Structure 1
Amino acid sequence: MHLKLITAALVASLASAPLAAADYQPVTDARLAKQEPANWLLTKGNYAGWSYSELDQVTTANVAKLRPVWSAATGVNSGHEAPAIVNGEYMFVATPHNQVIAYDTRTGKVRWKFVREVPEGLGALHRTNRGVSLYGDKVYVGSIDCMLSALDAKTGTLVWEAQVCDWEQDSAYITSAPLVVKGKVLIGPSGGEFGVRGFLKAFDAETGKLAWTRYSVPGPGEKGFETWPQDGEWKDAWKNGGGTMWMPGNYDATNNVIYWGVGNGAPWLGDQRPGDNLYLASVLALDPESGDIVSHFQYHWNDSWDWAGMNAPTLVEFNRNGKKVSGLISAQRNGRLYWLDRDDKGRITYNKSEPYVHNTVFTSIDPKTGRPTYNEEAKPATGKTRTYCPSLWGGKDWPYEAYNPKTGMLYIPYNDNHCLTLTGMIQPRIPGQWSAGVDINRLDLSVKKDFDHIGGIQAWSVDGGKEVWREKYPHSWNWGSIMTTAGGVLFAGGTNDRMFRAYDAKTGKLLWEFPTPSGIIAPPSTFTVDGKQYIAVVSGWGVDAQWIQGKMHGLAGWEKAVPEGGSVWVFALGD
């Protein structure tokens, strides 16, 4: 039986006493490798990172008939950045404050709730969570106090836990969703601004035993170490060099290669760690069995702008000169859209890149290697006050782009016309304290004079290499991930007006919108119940989106703050 539609005025939290466990279909390697339209088993829908669904009941012709079916409050505020992960009758939502809630997909009633107490004194910069992973009969979630927890999917009972990092000594913390590949749970921490040396760890999914660790900043004797200072004042810069791997990667299941993004340098100022600084602001191709680096591509060398490369590129097939070419495509924080080739061994080569927002730093790009040259007057440095565009939040921050194989387009949630001025300094590294080499209270955000918009969505032809359409938001940044479907619809939130929207994926025409209680910075997902398609999204503004909103109040007179408070929303077509 389909869910009974109820009006928005009657939508309310249905959480009461936890439900009895229902049948649960274990998540296998085969289920993860071949996306199931009926479920949403991975953060980005599939291993390739498409944020795409083959479901097509909701189309451009009928999407305007979407109505809320159920909604449930999460009970906490701050930034909700995790998608609703769905496996049959179970929906799993991770929230800020170390909480996971399992809902009944039909009714929104709570099946179970898991909360891990946040230790006193924890200095996490972003107290959020970007989602759970599923494998076997377990749910895996990272916590801001550096733990990876395995929960029984039917009951929420803690099965095992493993320490990923040390929040007291390393100042690291976890916001990333894990990724499960061939029985290993992969996760890395945040904390570049605290001087954490980035890494990725793999744990046995059944036992929690550590399988391997891959540091993103090489140590003595490792390939790439020569790109860090070898002597002099900064010879130990690699020990706290940043490069945290704080977003989930993507996986080529056919060729058994993982692609993972590497974050910004620490401190931000590149003159305190002279050299190219591998593997900051890069994508790594990794062997899932050992964590060994197969190949890499660095988007920009000696990162000095906090332009983290933490988002793994999307795996696609290019049509080039009548041939299929395996590739990677990624809209990076530095404001350029990259086309990279990959072979069956995971080796990465540069093909081309194009600017998708204004960049005042890059003066040229080597057409063969993709290596940029810099305008030194726009490069932050110790004792210097410098301005650069885009600001540290980049052309696109962490939210996910989406790829639709039917339209052949990549959809980018972008922000333009913003810049940052900062003064570089030397800051001692003290555990739990900001040490990025700039005063966190003096990050001078600015916007271009007479700007017509900041946020928006761009649609690019993957094969043609050209922008096809653009949606501009005159009075908002865009903080929302994108999802697209075989029905030709694109779903997105991300704006300060709290709207959840649907667009025509081919043309960019707005087809439907719905106001939620708070702003949406979580990725949408879609699934079926009894053969009927549903769209889910979590509403809950906070963290950087709220901080920027306050800044824009002073810069442009925008509303000072967006209401916070988390809630899950599920929609379906009306009868």
Structure 2
Amino acid sequence: MLKLSRNIVSSVLCVAAIFHSLFVFADTSATVNTESIIANSPDNWLSYGKDYKEQRYSELDKINVGNVADLSLAWSFDTDFNRGLEATPIVIDGVLYVTGNWSVVYALDARSGKLLWKYDPQVPREWAKMACCDVVNRGVAAYEGKIIFGTLDARLIALDAASGENLWEVATADITAYPYTITGAPRVAKGKVFIGNGGAEYGVRGYVSAYDVNTGEQLWRFYTVPANPADGFENDAMEAAAKTWTGKWWEYGGGGTVWDSIVYDNELDQLYIGVGNGSPWNAKIRSPEGGDNLYLSSVVALNPDSGEYIWHYQETPAESWDYTATQHIMLADMDVNGEQRKVIWHAPKNGFFFVIDRVSGKMLSAEPYGDINWASHYDLETGRPVETENARFLDEPTIIRPSSMGAHNWQPMAYSPQTGLVYIPVINSLFEYKAVDEYLHEWGQWNLGIYLQQQSVSDPILAQFLTSKITQGSLLAWDPVKQEAAWEVPHKLTWNGGLLATAGGLVFQGSAEGQVLAFRADNGEKLWSFEANTGVMAPPVTYTVDGEQYVTILAGWGGAFGLIAGLENDVAPPPSRVLTFKLGGSAPQLPANPLKQKFEPPARLTDDEAILEKGRGLYYAYCNACHGTEAISNGAIPDLRHLPKAFHDNFNAIVLDGVMKKAGMVGFSDVLSEDDAFALHAYIIEQANVDKESRAQPSWLISIKTWFYGIVAKLLGFAMSFS
């Protein structure tokens, strides 16, 4: 009887504790607002960049250079999918909110990783075709008891923070008419939610919108490029922008999507947006008689209450290389020639680090932080780049640095006031830009105006070396005052993760090789690493619960480079995971990744080189973005070289008729004929047989080729650094 009573009392206390935690959580989550984000509590992570300055610096120092070697896994959480993860977790008083693939939102106990609730917005799988760069999402925003996020099919949804219940939902775009997506994280301030979109590669017109945080009512919209002048202009900013375009650009969409960086400046009460690339990329097609094409590749300042234009600075006039300005915008105060200035620090794709006065929009300095050859420098009087002779690929194919991946992509930077350094996940890359012979605009397809395929590489081993050696990444520590590098740590691969700096003297980053790393912030010395078993792109965050400091990062390989590069390996990607560390963590070791299933390829369909080359061109036009360069996939999306017989037997039904569209594989009968499908199928089977034959080579020969190609790739990379 006593035992029964104790059980009853224990149960009552347990239920009471649960209700207490729910009520406490409901109360504390409601306090997330403009003021609390400005206050920037070090114990939580309340906004995408931690606070409105988006410096991604934490004042926590319990994990530091002296004890980081004792950091170990506290818990891990497996999401429902195995695609790329890019989100920044939001942490509020012991609860962690994060988005995964297909815009699914998870609420987790920040101490244990226990799932509290999950919300699946049921994104139609066929809409993945309209996502240029994987079915990713960069996170939620929190405000007054709500968790707000965008979906791949361009909806904006607010959930109850305590229960995950849908409070309101709005369509931010008409996707029946235009192929818009959302992958970026919303920002919140002054009772408003700010969100942009993606889709420039497919032919859309960019804009950013503000919505009421309580109702979802649209409050204003600012378009980033002008529409048809015959229809009139939304405002004076669009009328001014139209003077910088020529031809009938509106028929191609124009581009200029605000797909990532949106920053609220609470000190000046301004909203800054980073504007994306043109549609198509090739400026000669969309604006044939020239022009700067405002507001492409610009930082634009807006009134957050009305959406009215304040100022702009265009970083890459007449953008023609996919050099977006959507990369992480960071706010700071700094001394410029003896005068204290409020500035923006920006390292966009084009390879220059910009210091911009955020009061006036004037460019104060611009220096190259990566390998570039499209411009020699910026003229401080005009604020314009001085382009090199080979910058524009008008008549002949031209190798340009950086590539369309940029010298820095969406992965966020971090800043440490201890060192005065900005930490940048740098990409060193090149691309051969070649204008298409004849441009055909196709709705819902990639419309770039350039050829995506590079020179054919028949040997898979060489293809891997060219991908992993010529195109590489690094962690760069940049002095924004001196405008020069302080130190740099090379990574073996491209597409490494975003950054976190802490008062413990540390910089945390994930790597494409599958590690979570900690470096000394002052000199770049590697102090700690953890094997994540998959590439890590997302930026880390840190927080405390009950006085204990944790570090959380998402591990899941994918995104633009992760899909297209498709680095070869023999294991399948694991479930995309949330990994959380603490000093003396005791979570079990992560399980080994499963082996890839590889099926015997069919016999070659043809040895006709013309047909195979046609198939290769079609593959790069319609398949490469998801299934990888030379049909080498990372495994999260099927590797077309290793398909079972049933897929080959039903190839036309899948590729043309779209019988698998509910799984995300749509049909292409609107752009491909049966002859096209045959050529495409022949190319895929050719690649499958080449792979099989390569694997059948003696191990000693593979070792020699690996060694030789490694030397060749290094020499090519060295030679290209002078191009």
Tell me the TM-score normalised to structure 1 length: 0.89
Residues 350, 369 of structure 1: 8 Å contact kept: no
Counterpart for residue 399 of structure 2: 387
Aligned-residue sequence identity (percent) comes to 34
> Counterpart of 2:601?
none
User: What one-letter code is carried by the residue in structure 2 that aligns with 1:481?
Assistant: G
417 and 197 in structure 1: CA distance in 2 versus 1, 3 angstrom threshold:
closer
Query: Following TM superposition, by how much is the alpha carbon of 1:413 offset from its aligned partner in structure 2, in angstroms?
Result: 0.4
Q: Any gaps of 5 or more consecutive residues in structure 2?
A: 1-17, 458-462, 586-723
Q: Choose which of 12, 22, 36 in structure 2 pairs with 1:31.
A: 36
Aligned twin of 1:572: 582
| 1:547 lines up with 2:563 in the alignment | yes
Alignment check: 8 A CA contact 1:549 1:560 kept: no
Tell me how far 1:438 sits from its aligned partner: 2.9
Cα separation, 2, equivalents of 1:206 and 1:118: 23
* 2: CA distance, partners of 1:107 / 1:81: 21
Change (3 A) 1:72 1:448: closer
Residue 198 (structure 2) pairs with residue 190 (structure 1) = yes
What's 1:378 paired with?
391
1:137-536 to 2 correspondence within 5 Å?
137-219=145-227, 220=229, 221=233, 222-223=236-237, 225-228=239-242, 234-237=247-250, 240-272=253-285, 273=287, 274-343=290-359, 347-381=360-394, 384-440=396-452, 454-473=472-491, 475-495=492-512, 497-536=513-552
Q: TM-score, normalised by structure 2?
A: 0.72
2:266 maps to a residue whose letter is A
Give the number of the structure whose residues are more often strand, by fraction. 1
User: 1:83 and 2:88 equivalent?
Assistant: yes
The answer to whether 1:103 aligns with 2:120 is no
Give the Cα–Cα distance (whole angstroms) in 2 for the partners of residues 388 and 59 of structure 1: 41
Asked if 2 retains the 8 angstrom alpha-carbon contact of 1:518 and 1:541, the reply is: yes
Q: Report the alpha carbon displacement of residue 223 of structure 1 after superposing the two structures with TM.
A: 3.0
User: Helix, strand or coil for the counterpart of 1:64?
Assistant: helix
Deviates more, 1:456-465 or 1:125-134: 456-465
Judge which range, 42-51 or 201-210, deviates more: 42-51
Give the paired residue count: 544
CA shift for structure 1 position 337: 0.7
Which stretches in structure 1 are left out of the alignment for 5+ residues?
1-18, 554-558
Does 2:142 correspond to 1:124? no
- Conserved 8 A contact 1:522-1:538: yes
Q: Deviations over 1:187-209 (max 9, x none)?
A: 01100101111000100000000
Query: How far apart are the structure 1 equivalents of 2:408 and 2:456?
Result: 19
Instruction: Decide whether the 8 Å contact of 2:369 with 2:484 is kept in 1.
Output: no
2:68: which partner in 1? 63
Q: For the Cα contact (< 8 Å) 1:94–1:100, is it kept in 2?
A: yes
Opposite residue 148 of structure 1, the aligned amino acid is L
- Report the secondary structure of 2:126's partner residue: coil
**In the superposition, relative to structure 1, how do residues 372 and 91 fare at CA in structure 2: closer, same or farther (>3 Å)?**
same
Q: Which amino acid in structure 1 is aligned with residue 490 of structure 2? A: K
SS of match in other structure, 2:562: helix
Deviation by residue 1:248-279 (Cα, 9 ceiling, x = unmatched): 31221122111110000110011121210111
Indicate the larger mover: 437-446 or 398-407: 437-446
Measure the CA separation in 2 of the matches of 1:43 and 1:229: 36
Contact 2:418–2:503 (CA<8 Å) still a contact in 1? yes
Give 2:472's aligned amino acid: I
Q: Mean Cα displacement is larger for which, 73-82 or 362-371?
A: 362-371
Structure 1 residues 161 and 360, CA gap change in structure 2 (3 angstroms):
same
| Distance (Å, rounded) in 2 between the aligned partners of 1:448 and 1:330 | 30
CA distance in 2, matches of 1:548, 1:297: 31
CA gap 1:171/1:110 in 2 versus in 1, 3 angstroms: same
Going by fraction, where is helix more abundant, 1 or 2? 2
Alpha-carbon distance between aligned partners in 1 of 2:304 and 2:490, rounded to the nearest angstrom: 40
SS in 1 for 2:102: coil
Partner secondary structure for residue 71 of structure 1:
strand
Q: Quick one: distance in 2 between partners of 1:425 and 1:175?
A: 32
Which string of whole-angstrom CA distances, capped at 9 and with x for unpartnered residues, describes residues 320-358 of structure 1? 344422111111100111111222xxx211111111112
Q: Deviations over 1:380-406 (max 9, x none)?
A: 34x753321111011111111111112
Q: Are positions 1:53 and 2:58 aligned together?
A: yes
Comparing 446-455 and 463-472, the one that deviates more: 446-455
Contact 1:68 1:569 in 2 (8 A): yes
AA aligned opposite 1:188: G
CA contact (8 A) 2:179 2:202 kept: yes
Larger C-alpha radius of gyration, 1 or 2?
2
